[in-house]
Amino acid sequence: MNQSAKKIHCEVISIAEGKTWNNIVVQRKVSKKRLFFGKAKKDLDLNVGDEAYLEIEVMPSELPESPLRVTLYDMNGVKIDWTIIQPSQIDNIR
């Protein structure tokens, strides 16, 4: 894990099978904020209701609001998917 990354627990609330990838929606435990991940491998051992965690890293940027790279992991530390969001899309990341 990157030293600057923050680890945030969440729960898998939806898994939709696509043709190539699975689409996963997770919900943060405290804030109930939801995040969508659209390119999860189909062969993952992950089910609705499973606990997972997010690592959030601030990306280098010259913009006033630096984008965040959010990576989703299962509780065994297996990387599931990642996405880039604006800080306004997630609250209280600390």
Quick: pLDDT tens for 8-66. Answer: 999 999 999 988 999 999 999 888 899 999 999 988 889 999 999 999 998 888 878 88
Tokens for 84?
Answer: 């880039």
pLDDT band, very low/low/confident/very high, at 90 (cuts 50, 70, 90): low
pTM of the model: 0.85
Phi-psi region of 10 (alpha: psi -120 to 50; beta: other; left: phi over 0): beta
Determine whether 93 is exposed, middle or buried from the number of CB atoms within 10 Å of its CB (0-12, 13-18, 19+): middle
SS3 call for 91: coil
**Is pLDDT above 60 for 1?**
no
The residue among 23 and 94 whose pLDDT is bigger is 23
**Is pLDDT above 80 for 2?**
no
Asked if 72 contacts 14 with a C-beta cutoff of 8 angstroms, the reply is no
